[in-house]
Every structure is written in structure tokens, then in C-alpha cells.
Chains A and B, each alone.
Chain A
């Protein structure tokens, strides 16, 4: 067995290594990389020793902006609430509120021109004239011509009314009442009654029938006349009586 000399061994080891080292040294240099460890250490060092870059939005700025916004909101709250309230009221009225349909009432403040207005005005004027000329007491008493078989039963008179009652042997009656147009009250029994408006002797006459008795109401010569007759008397006779209305002979 050959003994290995320490010096020779060392030289051999270095010789072998140097060959390989020279081969590596002959290689082109490589750029020095920056390993992750180095970059991490560099970042840590920079972060601790350098000032942090200024940020646009810092917590203090954010708080200041919020406060200013709150103040502005509070200042404009009154101005904002009113239109909002009006808006909601309008929306409620427009879409939610239910209103009963009420027909429009024509405004009477303006007079509507009516072709009949002139005639009505005339009548109104005449009535006004009549009212002015209407006698307040019975100045002229009127009577009717009744058939011959009728006999005068009662004749009552006052300043404002006259009442003349005739009756025939069969019990049929004719009652003529003359009253002034003012200061009197006229009452009718309306139960089971028939009403009719007719024209007798050119005057508007209100015809009333109830319980076998005709009652005619008409205005003539400034007085209100009421002629009551039994229904057994022919209507022509009754019309004749109205037509024959005339002042009493003194």
C-alpha cells in the first residue's frame, strides 16, 4: 500500500480544484442579482429610515371633509326639507289621495246671456210694477156668475179677503175667495191630490183636485182668486165662471 503524503495530497487537491476554478473564472461575469432576501431587507430598511410618501387622503382630511359636509347639510336642511315635503304632498295628491267627484257648480257671479232673459226681465219688471201697484186691501170685490140653481149661502168680507159660497139643491157648492197678494197665507190639503197647471181665460191657472172638489187658483186684477167647485159641475161651466169674473155691481 502506497502511503499518501499530506503535502502531496494538499497540492493534488488544490491542483484539481484550481483547474475547475480557472474554468469557472473564464466564464463571463454574471450580473449581480438582487435576491429576494436582499430586496426584502432593503425594503424594510427603506421603510423604517425614509419618510413615508404623502398620501392624498389622510384620516384627518377625511374627518375634516365629513365635518364640512355635515355642516353644509345642516345649513341647507331647512331649504331642502320644504321642497321635499311639497314634492311628497304633490305625489300624494296626484296618485294616492281619493276625492269624491263633485260636479262643478257654475259661477253665478257672471250673468249668462239668455235669449229669454228679455222676456223674463219684462215679466219681472211687470211683477215689480204690479207689486208696486198691487192693492194691499180689497178695493174692488169680484164675483162670478154661477148657474141659476145655485143660491148664495154665505158672503164673508174683510179688508184683505172675501169669501162667497153658493150651493144648489143637490148639495154641490161653488166657493169663490178673493185675497190680496200680500199678507195672506194659503193652505191646501195635499194628501191624495192631483195638480195641474192650465190656462183659463188667458191666465195661468193652478188646478187642484181632491175629495171630489176642484180648486182653481189664479191671479187676476191684482188679486189671488180661489174657485172651488164640486166635480159634478161640468168643467166648461167652471171655465165660464172664471171667464165671467167681474167686479161686483154696487
Chain B
């Protein structure tokens, strides 16, 4: 399977990097996809699509640390799942899976108790809809251009820009509401 993805890489100097990512995060990607789609075959399709996207942007991933890389893989897989669901036009799909944490798991607020983060911002981000959050991750964590994001997500360039703009607006609004 790996050789198919390697064939999609333009610059073969990054083949080893991609192999590391693939073997490191393949299982995690599969679990992310299966947790959203609840179908192993669809999950693997989503993972395959996600790794094709990763292979195309492997150059941008070279400088990322492990945490960002993991988040990037997960976000990419999640968006592949969303695309599969859109193709199937399954309105009952759990698109907001990441917003609904199980009760026995620690919430974002609980996780922040011992951390020195901007707590208000983290809470606002956690409540941000996933479609805005993903483009913000690509934009500000992975440093992808709007064009690359649009290619990666398979959505129009203008949509990417509007999602970034609206995502930031929503965050500011949430923070202003909290401050008030």
C-alpha cells in the first residue's frame, strides 16, 4: 500500500519522512476515521485519502514537531471522513464527534487546570465548530496557504478564506462575551 502513496510524492527526497509518518500514525488515523465513520472499510478509504493529501503536502510537514504532525494527521483524516460522508450524503453522520466528549473523559476545562495556557482561548477554541477549527489549525499551526488548504480539503479557495475569517470572528466574539 505504501508504494502507492510514495508514487504520489513529487519530491522523492521526502519518501523516508512519509514512511515514518505512515508507520507512526497509520493506526491512529484508522482509529480516528473509524470513530467518525463507524465503518472499517470507509475508515480505510478515508485514511487512504488522508495519506494521499499528506503525501502531496509532505514538504510542508518536514519542519513540524511530533505534536503538530499528529494533530495534522488527525485533522486531515477527519476531513477525509467528512468528505466521504458528504459523498454518501449521510445527514445523520456525526460531524461534531470531537465536540461531544464522553462523560468519563476529562473535559478541556479539566485538562487546563494544571496547564499554563490561555484558558479562555482554549475553551473558546474547543467550542468552535470543527469546520472553522480545522482551517485554523492548517493555517496557524501547519502554516499552509489558503490554496493548499482548499486543495487538501477539496473545497473552494474562497470558502477556505471565509472559514478562516469567520472562525476568528467567532473566537473573538466568544472571548468578548466571556470578558463582558
Contacts and interface: CB of A to CB of B under 8 A. Distances in A.
A15 B115 contact: yes
Interface string A1-26: 11011101111111111111101110
Contacts, number: 115
A38 B176 CA distance: 50
B39 to A, nearest CB: 9
B114 to A, nearest CB: 12
Interface stretch (A27-35, A162-170, A171-179, A216-224): A27-35
Interface residues of A, number: 34
A25 B71 contact: no
A120 B21 CA distance: 137
Contact of A15 (B34, B105, B122, B168): B122
A21 B111 CA distance: 13
Q: How many of chain B's residues touch chain A, expressed as a range?
A: 35 or more
A15 B111 CA distance: 9
B125 A12 contact: yes
A119 interface: no
Contact of B168 (A4, A30, A37): A4
Nearest to B40: A33
B163 interface: no
B28 interface: yes
B152 interface: no
Interface of B: 1, 4, 27-28, 30-32, 34-35, 40-41, 43-45, 48, 67-68, 70-71, 74-75, 98, 101-102, 105-106, 108, 111-112, 115, 117-118, 121-122, 124-126, 133, 136-137, 140-141, 168, 171-172, 175-176, 179
17 contacts: A2-B179, A11-B118, A12-B121, A13-B125, A15-B125, A17-B74, A17-B75, A18-B67, A20-B74, A24-B31, A24-B74, A25-B31, A30-B40, A33-B40, A34-B44, A36-B41, A37-B45
Interface of A: 1-2, 4-6, 8-21, 23-25, 27, 29-38, 41
Given A8-B121, A15-B117, A25-B28, 6 more contacts: A1-B172, A17-B133, A20-B101, A27-B31, A35-B48, A38-B1
